[in-house]
Chain A
Amino acid sequence: MHRAIEAVWRIESARLIGALTRIVHDVGVAEDLAQESFIAALEHWPTTGIPENAGAWLMTTAKHRAFDHLRQRKMRQRKHGELEQDTAGLPPAGPDPEASVDDDVGDDLLRLIFIACHPVLSQEGRAALTLRLLGGLTTDEIARAFLVPETSIAQRIVRAKRTLREACVPFEVPREPDLPTRLSSVLEVIYLIFNEGYAATKGDDWTRPELCQEALRLGRILAELVDDEAEVHGLVALMELHASRLPSRTGPSGKPILLLDQDRSRWDRLLLHRGLAALGRAEALKQPLGPYALQAAIAACHARARIAVETDWNRIVALYDALVELTQSPVVELNRAVAVSMAFGPAAGLELVDALAGERTLKSYHLLPSVRGDLLMKLGRHAEARVEFERAASLAQNARERALLLARAEESRTRPSNVRPM
Chain B
Amino acid sequence: MRVMVFVPADKQSEAGVMPSQELISKMMKFNEDLVKAGVMLDGQGLTPTSKAKRVKFSGSQRTVIDGPFAESKELVAGYWIWQVKSIEEAVEWLKRAPFDGGVEVTLRPIFEPADFGRELDPELRAKDARLRVEIQRQKMS
- Kindly count the residue-residue contacts between A and B in the assembled complex, taking CB atoms under 8 Å apart: 70
In the complex, whether A330 has a CB less than 8 A from a CB of chain B is no
B138 close to A150 (CB less than 8 A):
yes
Contact for A217 among B38, B117, B131, B138, CB less than 8 A = B38
A189 CA to B107 CA, complexed, in Å: 33
Contact for A8 among B92, B138, B141, CB less than 8 A = B92
| Nearest opposing residue in chain A for B93, CB measure | A11
A7 close to B86 (CB less than 8 A):
yes
A106 CA to B85 CA, complexed, in Å: 22
Q: How many positions in chain B have a CB within 8 Å of any CB in the partner chain?
A: 29
Q: A247-B113, A252-B117, A253-B124 are in contact. Are A106 and B36 (CB under 8 A)?
A: yes
Residues of chain B contacted by A10 (CB below 8 angstroms) = 85-86, 89
A46 CA to B83 CA, complexed, in Å: 26
A204 CA to B86 CA, complexed, in Å: 25
In the complex, whether A91 has a CB less than 8 A from a CB of chain B is no
In the complex, whether A90 has a CB less than 8 A from a CB of chain B is no
Interface residues of A in 138-166 (CB under 8 A from B): 140, 143-144, 149-150
Interface residues of A in 1-34 (CB under 8 A from B): 3-4, 6-8, 10-11
Per DSSP, chain A at the interface is helix
A143 close to B127 (CB less than 8 A):
no
A213 CA to B86 CA, complexed, in Å: 13
A144 CA to B36 CA, complexed, in Å: 27
In the complex, whether A339 has a CB less than 8 A from a CB of chain B is no
Residues of chain B contacted by A150 (CB below 8 angstroms) = 138-139
Q: A221-B36, A221-B37, A247-B113 are in contact. Are A7 and B91 (CB under 8 A)?
A: yes
Interface centre among B81, B85, B88 (most CB of A within 10 A): B85
Interface residues of B in 76-122 (CB under 8 A from A): 81, 83, 85-86, 88-89, 91-93, 112-114, 117, 121
In the complex, whether A97 has a CB less than 8 A from a CB of chain B is no
In the complex, whether A86 has a CB less than 8 A from a CB of chain B is no
A204 CA to B126 CA, complexed, in Å: 12
| Nearest opposing residue in chain B for A14, CB measure | B37
A4 close to B138 (CB less than 8 A):
no
In the complex, whether A112 has a CB less than 8 A from a CB of chain B is no
Residues of chain B contacted by A246 (CB below 8 angstroms) = 113
Closest beta carbon of chain B to A224's beta carbon, Å: 5
In the complex, whether A381 has a CB less than 8 A from a CB of chain B is no
In the complex, whether A254 has a CB less than 8 A from a CB of chain B is yes
Residues of chain A contacted by B42 (CB below 8 angstroms) = 270
A233 CA to B117 CA, complexed, in Å: 32
A106 CA to B112 CA, complexed, in Å: 32
Contact for B121 among A7, A50, A106, A253, CB less than 8 A = A253
Closest beta carbon of chain B to A210's beta carbon, Å: 8
A50 CA to B95 CA, complexed, in Å: 11
Residues of chain B contacted by A149 (CB below 8 angstroms) = 138-139, 141
Interface residues of B in 1-59 (CB under 8 A from A): 35-39, 41-42
Q: Mark A179-219, 1 if CB is under 8 A from B, else 0.
A: 00000000000000000000000001100010001001111
> Which 3 residue pairs spanning A and B have beta carbons closest together?
A220-B38, A217-B38, A7-B88
- Give the interface of A toward B (CB within 8 A): 3-4, 6-8, 10-11, 50, 54, 106, 140, 143-144, 149-150, 204-205, 209, 213, 216-221, 224-225, 246-247, 252-254, 266, 270-271, 274
Supplied contacts A7-B86, A11-B92, A216-B38, 12 more A-B pairs, CB within 8 Å: A6-B86, A8-B92, A11-B89, A144-B135, A149-B138, A149-B139, A213-B83, A217-B37, A217-B38, A217-B83, A220-B35, A274-B41
